């Protein structure tokens, strides 16, 4: 934990802001700790999240998008909310410039189960904005010190249109590598788009990853998940070998405030990563 008092954020500086998408409502913020001790205490794994904190506005739980193999900073990809509910913190964050200082509290939650994933073939399926902690995991696995620990890596990532794909430079890099099979798709391309068109579930069916010694990690909008899961069941993936990351409204992030429970589990401290097998044990209350 970052602080003896788990409710107190530590200061970080925004050193880089990347506009990820054409709609300009998703930005990646690179944060550097102002104090070395805080940085040393912020030891995380892919799949974890943190509370980003702006005094006067509040806190927002955001998945960590960088990989722990990246040293000296931590990155978060944040969508500006506000179409339905105010989105106070994300809007304030989007209004900040490089050099601004904010607070961070974390790392929080469990992570993608790295030990469970080792020696297995990994199938990563992402849709739209729900790709941030998957990106953390992919970059973690691709790191030269880690790549040998995992089997084949297949990434199937889709967005509604090319302008909405996140991390475009990295996607291009992955396509060039031979130690990762990267399939990028969009629902509908534009004139410049030369890649694949098609919905994620259909592409999964076409790619048909083998369930043998494989784990699928699936994150995306509910409608994508709904149509993708049957594809993986048909391919022969068991519920224990399909993982996802849940979202619920959160406040404390440490299992105390009682907000994000699904049944007897708190998404913030027991999750956010769950296998479908684990979710089957819980009531449908999310």
- Alpha-carbon torsion angle 208, 214, 215, 219, nearest 10: -20
For tokens 């993708």, name the residue: 228
**What φ, ψ does residue 226 adopt, rounded to 5°?**
-55, -45
Residue 65 in tokens: 């998008």
6 vs 113, beta carbon nearer other proteins: 6
Nearer to other proteins, 72 or 258 (CB): 258
Residue 215 within binding range of other proteins, rule CB under 8 A: no
| Residue 52: HSE in the Cβ half-sphere, 13 Å Cα cutoff | 28
- The distance of closest approach from Cβ of residue 115 to other proteins in the complex, given in angstroms and rounded to an integer, is 21
Among the listed residues 156, 254, 273, 276, the single contact to other proteins using CB under 8 A: 254
The reply on whether position 285 binds other proteins by CB under 8 A is yes
243 lies in the site for other proteins, by CB under 8 A: no
* Interacting residue with other proteins among 14, 59, 182, 184 (CB under 8 A): 59
34 binds other proteins (CB under 8 A): yes
Q: How far is the CB of 59 from other proteins (least distance, A)?
A: 6
Reading the block at residue 57, the tokens are: 């506005």
Cβ-contact 254, 269 below 8 angstroms: yes
**E strand or H helix at 107, and its extent?**
strand 101-108
Report the first-to-last Cα separation within the chain, whole angstroms: 27
For residues 166 and 254, which CB has a smaller minimum distance to other proteins in the complex? 254
If binding is defined by CB under 8 A, does position 41 make contact with other proteins? no
Q: How far is CA 162 from CA 18, 26, 148, 155, in A?
A: 17, 14, 32, 17
Residue 19 and residue 25: Cα distance in Å, rounded? 8
Closest CB 223 distance from other proteins, rounded Å = 12
Question: Taking the complex as a whole, how short is the minimal distance between the CB of residue 205 and other proteins, in angstroms?
Answer: 27
Phi, psi of 139 (to 5 degrees): -65, -35
**Residue 18 burial (10 A CB sphere; 0-12, 13-18, 19+):** middle
55 binds other proteins (CB under 8 A): yes
Residues 88 to 127 in contact with other proteins, rule: CB under 8 A? 90, 101-103
DSSP count for the chain of H helices, then E strands = 8, 15
- Spell out, one character per residue from 255 to 284, where the chain touches other proteins: x when CB under 8 A holds, - when not: xxxxx-x-xxx---x-------------xx
Q: Among residues 131 and 174, whose Cβ is nearest to other proteins? A: 131
For residue 151, give every residue at least 6 positions away whose Cβ sits within 8 Å of its Cβ, in sequence order, or none.
119, 120, 121, 122, 213, 214
User: Segment 65-84, which members bind other proteins (CB under 8 A)?
Assistant: 81-84
5 binds other proteins (CB under 8 A): yes
Question: Quick check: 34 and 11 in contact, CB under 8 A?
Answer: yes
Site map 147..186 versus other proteins, x via CB under 8 A: ----------------------------------------
Which residues of this protein are in contact with other proteins, per CB under 8 A? 1, 4-8, 11, 34, 55-60, 81-85, 87, 90, 101-103, 247-249, 251-252, 254-259, 261, 263-265, 269, 283-286
């Amino acid at each position: 934990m970052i602080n003896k008092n788990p409710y107190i954020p530590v200061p970080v500086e925004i050193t880089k802001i990347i506009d990820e998408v054409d709609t300009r409502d998703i930005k990646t913020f690179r944060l550097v700790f102002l104090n070395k001790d805080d940085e040393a205490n912020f030891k995380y794994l892919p799949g974890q999240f943190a509370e980003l904190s702006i005094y006067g506005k509040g806190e927002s739980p955001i998945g960590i998008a960088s990989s722990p193999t990246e040293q000296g900073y931590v990155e978060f990809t944040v969508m500006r909310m506000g179409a339905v509910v105010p989105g106070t913190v994300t809007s304030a964050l989007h209004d900040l410039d490089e050099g601004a200082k904010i607070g961070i509290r974390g790392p929080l939650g469990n992570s993608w189960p790295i030990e469970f994933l080792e020696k297995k073939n990994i199938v990563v399926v992402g849709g739209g904005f729900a790709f941030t902690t998957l990106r953390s995991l992919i970059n973690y696995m691709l790191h030269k010190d880690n790549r040998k620990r995992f089997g084949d890596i297949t990434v199937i990532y889709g967005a509604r249109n090319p302008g909405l794909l996140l991390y475009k430079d990295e996607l291009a890099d992955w396509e060039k590598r031979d130690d990762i099979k990267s399939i990028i798709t969009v629902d509908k391309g534009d004139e410049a788009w030369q890649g694949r068109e098609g919905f994620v579930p259909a592409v999964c069916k076409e790619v048909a990853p083998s369930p043998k010694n494989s784990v699928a990690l699936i994150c995306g909008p509910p409608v994508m998940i709904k149509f993708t899961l049957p594809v993986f069941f048909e391919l022969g993936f068991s519920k224990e070998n399909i993982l996802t990351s849940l979202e619920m409204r959160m406040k404390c992030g440490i299992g105390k405030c009682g907000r994000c429970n699904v049944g007897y589990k708190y998404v913030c401290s027991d999750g956010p990563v769950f296998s479908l097998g684990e979710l089957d044990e819980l009531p449908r209350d999310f």
